[in-house]
């Protein structure tokens, strides 16, 4: 049995790593500013720009929060479906459907 506090820490680690990967992905792509392929094909369009890191952090944070809210919603729906299942159906499914 895993302690509830340990489960919360595992979820917090997942959120932290997802958020950090989003930020580092933006930081990597922001280095290539005004280039489609760095050093080979320059982006010459008049609207080419890279947003500031602060703006990108807000966007990545919002996307990470929405992702985990959707994940929590899916787990909630799964738990709701299991709670409403008839008692005999669960036993039959465990026995191979007979």
Q: What Å distances lie between residue 93 and 68, 69, 81, CA to CA?
A: 30, 30, 15
Query: Angle CA(26)–CA(10)–CA(77) in degrees, nearest 5?
Result: 90
pTM for this one? 0.61
Each residue of 76-88: b (16+ CB within 10 Å) or e? Answer: eeeeeeeeeeeee
Tens of pLDDT, residue by residue, the chain (98 residues): 888 888 888 988 988 998 899 889 888 877 777 777 777 888 888 877 778 888 988 998 999 889 889 988 988 888 887 766 566 656 566 666 55
Task: Tell me the C-alpha distance between 12 and 23, whole Å.
Answer: 16
Residue 62: its pLDDT value, please?
A: 93
């Amino acid at each position: 049995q895993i302690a509830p506090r340990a489960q919360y820490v595992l979820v917090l680690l997942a959120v932290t790593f997802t958020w950090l990967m989003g930020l580092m992905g933006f930081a990597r792509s922001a280095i290539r500013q005004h280039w489609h392929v760095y050093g080979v094909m320059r982006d010459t369009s008049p609207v080419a720009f890279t947003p500031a890191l602060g703006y990108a952090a807000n966007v990545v944070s919002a996307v990470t929060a929405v992702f985990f809210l959707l994940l929590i919603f899916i787990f909630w729906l799964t738990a709701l479906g299991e709670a409403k299942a008839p008692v005999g159906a669960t036993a039959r499914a465990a026995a191979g459907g007979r």
